[in-house]
Structure 1
Amino acid sequence: MILILGGTSTTHEIIKTLSNSDYIISVTTEYGYSEFNKRYPSKVLHTRFTTGSLTKFIKEKSIKQVIDSTHPHAKEITKNAIEVCTALNIPYINKIRTLEDIHYNRMHMFTSYDDAAAFVQEKGYKSVLITTGSNNIDKFAGIADVSYARVLPFEKSLQACLDAGFHYSRIIAMQGPFSESFNIALIHEINADCFVTKNSGTGSGYAEKISACEKCGIDMVTVQPE
């Protein structure tokens, strides 16, 4: 049995290569479970592993290999998986998508959401498009009245935005990834002068966000894992 730590587009690519191998996919979000369970019914587990629960699961299910295709920002599960696989002496295979290394002269890079939010607030932008997701949207509560949050179309995501002070009219609930042209159109629609995002790696739509900001000539604030 192979355990795939997943929830990204890379996970689908890995599954294609497994042929008739027996596997199970673990995801940590409601969105991930919904999407993957449609395509791989009875193969998806919705859980957030700790070192203890992962160790127990691997032993109970006789897992022979762990493939990590989690989000580049999901540092905790990657750390836990490496630690557990090393302790149990089973192969750990890293298939996390590579972070984009693209530079833009109006890009400001931060390693924490707190620092990114503080910078945006200090700069006093008039219209900010925030695309970092709902998990950290509360960090931007101080600029909710001048910002638009683009998040996944789930009740939990919408509620997180509302709790952070975003009005319904400032929540854009859509599923990506989005093209460069779509990002440009949205930037123009809300007259954005700053685009906040995170570096989610190759194939995540991050490159399209950069090119859109460059063509529109606006500032970009990026949160990137250390």
Structure 2
Amino acid sequence: MMRLAVFAGTTEGHELLALLSRHGMPATAFVATEYGAELICDLPGIEVRQGRLDADEMRVALADFEVVVDATHPYATIVSANLRDAARLTGTRYIRLLRPSLLDEELADADAPRVIEVADAQEAAERLSGLEGGVLLTTGSKDLSIYTQVRDYEERLFVRILPVASGLERALALGYPAKHIICMQGPFSRSLNVAMLRQVDARWLLTKDTGAAGGLPEKLTAAHEADCGVVVIRRPDVNERGIGVSDVFELLSSISSNCC
């Protein structure tokens, strides 16, 4: 039996694990948070290990596996780099499950909103400081401290984050008012995004190039409908390549068959 590890920090990672479970293919899922563990803890045949691993811990963990699927977020560049290094050092086969970028395709649409592209959260904060009006921030809780640099952030920023206690506590500790914090789990439809933008009277929406799984098309169409501008944080590695859930599953099925 193939010894398989899946580093699952995305919707696609959860989809792959559910697919493996349905087909009786056991795997060990590595997730960083308790919330991530809760999403997959009931899948038969899937062992869940929770906690963030540094480079050395990854290398020790991968020594027990023949194949590792990197299903982490496109913006988790350090995690992916550490995984690739650990796989190389342990002789573990590395497979990248990566959602494709849709940004160029979406912006080519005639109904695309006005968009400002930036390199990272720091540049996004700097650009937002020079703009006027409220902002619906949809990039999660990780970089909330950076966005406190935005001019009048307590009044202008409305943050949409996962319904996890640690994220809410971080936002409150950084000075974001409770009435400006929206704790919800996606995916979010176009109509719900429009309603939120109008509810908070947002002039701008902040997002990452999250692809279809991250709801980018719905965000962009909602921004156009709500007459909102969009600030998009580009992917840190535009040249990174990977394959989708179905292709990863087919590849794993082939590897598993050859192992038997």
TM over 0.5, yes or no? yes
What's the offset of the Cα at 1:4? Answer: 0.2
Matched, 1:186 2:186: no
Partner-residue secondary structure (3-state), 1:43: strand
CA distance in 1, matches of 2:118, 2:173: 24
**Number of the residue aligned with 1:82:** 84
| C-alpha distance in structure 1 between counterparts of 2:139 and 2:44, whole Å | 27
CA distance, structure 1, for counterparts of residue 65 and residue 163 of structure 2: 34
> Which residue in 1 is equivalent to 2:252?
none
Structure 2 CA distance for aligned equivalents of residues 145 and 40 of structure 1: 46
5+ residue gaps, structure 1: none
8, 25, 32: which one aligns with 1:28: 32
Q: Deviations over 1:127-173 (max 9, x none)?
A: 11111111111112241221211111111111111122111111111
Q: Distance in 2 between matches of 1:64 and 1:140?
A: 41
Normalised by the size of structure 2, how large is the TM-score?
Answer: 0.80
- Corresponding residue for 2:51? 47
Q: TM-score of the superposition, structure 1-length normalised?
A: 0.92
Q: How far does residue 222 in structure 1 lie from its aligned partner after superposition?
A: 1.2
Equivalent residue for 1:217, pick from 223, 227, 246: 227
SS state at 1:169 partner: helix
| 1:147-204: CA deviation from partner (whole Å, max 9, x where unpaired) | 2111111111111111221111111111111000100111111111111111222321
- Contact 2:160 2:181 (8 Å CA) reproduced: yes
Counterparts of residues 1-226 of structure 1 (less than 5 Å):
1-15=3-17, 16-17=19-20, 19-39=23-43, 43-59=47-63, 62-101=64-103, 102-103=106-107, 104=112, 106-123=114-131, 125-141=132-148, 142=150, 143-226=153-236
Give the conservation status (yes or no) of the 8 Å contact 1:180–1:212.
yes
Q: How many residues align?
A: 223
Per the TM alignment, residue 90 of structure 1 is displaced from its structure 2 partner at its CA by: 2.2
Offset at residue 74 of structure 1 (A): 0.9
* Corresponding letter in the other structure for 1:134: S
| Preserved contact between residue 110 and residue 221 of structure 1 (Cα < 8 Å) | yes
Mapped to 1, the partners of 2:87 and 2:177 lie a distance apart of: 45
Q: List, as ranges, runs of 4+ consecutive aligned residues in structure 1 with deviation greater than 6 Å.
A: none
AA aligned to 2:189 is S
Displacement of 1:99 in angstroms is 2.1
Structure 1's 183 and 40: CA in aligned 2 closer, same or farther, altered over 3 A? farther
Segment of structure 1 superposing worse, 98-107 or 178-187: 98-107
Is the Cα–Cα contact under 8 Å of residues 140 and 164 in structure 1 kept in the other structure? Answer: no
Distance 1:44 1:224 in 2: 31
Cα RMSD after superposing both structures: 1.7
Deviation at 1:49, TM superposition (A): 2.2
Q: Contact (CA 8 Å) 1:195, 1:218: kept in 2 or not? A: yes
Task: Find the residue that maps to 1:72 and give its secondary structure.
Answer: coil
Identity across the alignment (%): 25
CA positional deviation for 1:44: 1.1
Q: Deviations over 1:101-145 (max 9, x none)?
A: 22145111112101101100111x221111111111111224122
Residue 160 of structure 2 aligns to a residue whose secondary structure is strand
Q: Deviations over 1:17-52 (max 9, x none)?
A: 462233100011232122222445861111222221
